[in-house]
Amino acid sequence: MSYPNYVFSLFAFIGFTLALIPLRWHLDVWNVGTCLYMLWTAAGCLNQFINSVVWNGNTRDAPGWCDISVRIIIGASTAIPAASLCINRRLYRISHLQTAKISDAEKRRGVIIEFAIALGLPIFFIVISFIPQVHRYDIAEDIGCIPVGYPTPVFIALVHAPPVAIGCVTAVYSVLSIKAFFERQKHLQELMAGSTSLDTNRYFRLMCVAGIDVVLTIPLGCFAIYDNIKRYGGVQPWVSWANIHSNFNVHGVIPASSWRANPYTEGMAEFNRWMIILCAFTFFTFFGFAEEARRNYLVAFMRIASWFGYGATPSTSIVAGVQVKPSNMIFTNRRAATVTNAATPSARTPRTEENQPTPGSDSKLFAFVKRTLRLDRKPPLLPLTFTPNIISLQSSYSSESRDRGGDYDSGNLSAPA
């Protein structure tokens, strides 16, 4: 029994939100690979959310949006492995640094290269995917717009092969960076000790995020090729441009009763659209609960609290000249402080036991937030995440049905023998 489609819509929207939460503090250090990973993942989740809402229980046509939607699906399938490649490439370079000082020219060159890999390559493959595209798009009920193509050598080379090839390059960088990390661990720890943008914990999380790509992206990409060839009974010949695009402007319609009729087909369809959401959740698991994330949540909470007249002040354990940290701050009501201004010392006056605000309900509120965010605890070792290759659902058409204008042939969506 299938689940209600709104469940997927809910998780898709949550995935879109979670993917963007760690973005701000990664932008601060110009970590292009992780930023583009989050942006592409968020775009994929938002695309799936819109599709699942608009095409819930129907297959009505929407040409403009579907053209955009299938490009996002194709782009994300290449962009996420490409972003992982950028992360691994940066970690490889860090693992071979001799000094913590990097010139501005080297930083700019690194940023340009990472943009070219994680943004330029996906856009390039989005454009050339038009060459082997059979239809502009197809529409599957409850799923939405999906790209269409059958396994000619050109389609395999331009659509299926790039994620696998990128995954292979990522594998090389990943192995080399892991090897260098353990060989030069002491030296790297000394370099990171003087860095404000990278520490050992963040390095390890980035290494895990990108390294698991070796385990899953390549096998999933190879399986996508195998599955597409299996359903069409082998690699199909490339006849001509005119033959491939003879019914380009005719879109196929796939009712839910058709793609849910076969357990294998239904499983593949659900697997394909859930993978981008799992990318968002697993990335957030690594970076949404880290120490810098919890401190950013505290800053956001304090900003919201200030709208209601609350602010943070140092506690009695603070002495003049010591940096204020979240673990030794309490909340005070600014409005109440205004009323009792005569009894409240100036913000520039060093605090003593006499002029400290009495901890009350406000300090209890902050204590609750501090316990919730666990600011005084060392972050636990989180489980591995992964960056799977996104396998787009391919609607199956026989050559006869394609020549007739794209009528759906449910017989081709059977489980492999």
Q: Which secondary-structure segment (H or E) carries 37? A: helix 32-54
Cα 81 to Cα 77: distance, rounded to the nearest angstrom: 7
Paired sense of beta strands 138-140 and 253-254, if any: parallel
Q: Given pLDDT bands bounded at 50, 70 and 90, which one contains residue 411?
A: very low
Q: Given pLDDT bands bounded at 50, 70 and 90, which one contains residue 231?
A: confident
Tell which residue, 33, 38, 85, has the closest CA to residue 198.
33
Residue 385's pLDDT is what? 34
Domain 5-290+381-412 falls under CATH 1.20.1070.10: yes
Residue 109: is its pLDDT beyond 80?
yes
Cα 156 to Cα 393: distance, rounded to the nearest angstrom: 15
Could you list the beta-strand ranges (E) of 176-277.
253-254
Numbered ranges of CATH 1.20.1070.10 in the chain: 5-290+381-412
Per DSSP, what are the bridge partners of residue 144?
140
Residue 355: is its pLDDT beyond 50?
no
Cα 127 to Cα 109: distance, rounded to the nearest angstrom: 25
Q: How many helices (H) and strands (E) does the chain have?
A: 18, 5
The gap from C-alpha 266 to its chain's centroid, in whole angstroms, comes to 24
Mean pLDDT to the nearest integer, 142-160: 92
pLDDT digits (tens, 9 = 90+) for 307-346: 777 655 444 433 334 344 444 454 455 555 444 444 444 4
Cα 209 to Cα 279: distance, rounded to the nearest angstrom: 10
pLDDT digits (tens, 9 = 90+) for 89-102: 888 887 777 665 67
User: Cα(first)–Cα(last) distance of the chain, in Å?
Assistant: 24
**363 or 236, which is more confident?**
236
pLDDT digits (tens, 9 = 90+) for 249-303: 888 899 999 999 989 989 999 999 999 998 899 888 887 777 777 777 777 777 7
Residue 359: is its pLDDT beyond 60?
no
The residue behind tokens 């040409």 is: 63
What pTM did the predictor assign?
0.72
The gap from C-alpha 272 to its chain's centroid, in whole angstroms, comes to 15
Q: Per-residue DSSP letters for 178-207?
A: HHHHHHSHHHHHHHHHT-SS--HHHHHHHH
Cα 166 to Cα 117: distance, rounded to the nearest angstrom: 10
Mean pLDDT to the nearest integer, 25-46: 88
The dihedral over CA atoms of 360, 362, 368, 373, expressed in degrees to the nearest 10, equals -140
Residue 311's pLDDT is what? 58
Cα 78 to Cα 63: distance, rounded to the nearest angstrom: 23
Per DSSP, what are the bridge partners of residue 254?
140
% residues pLDDT > 90 (the chain): 33
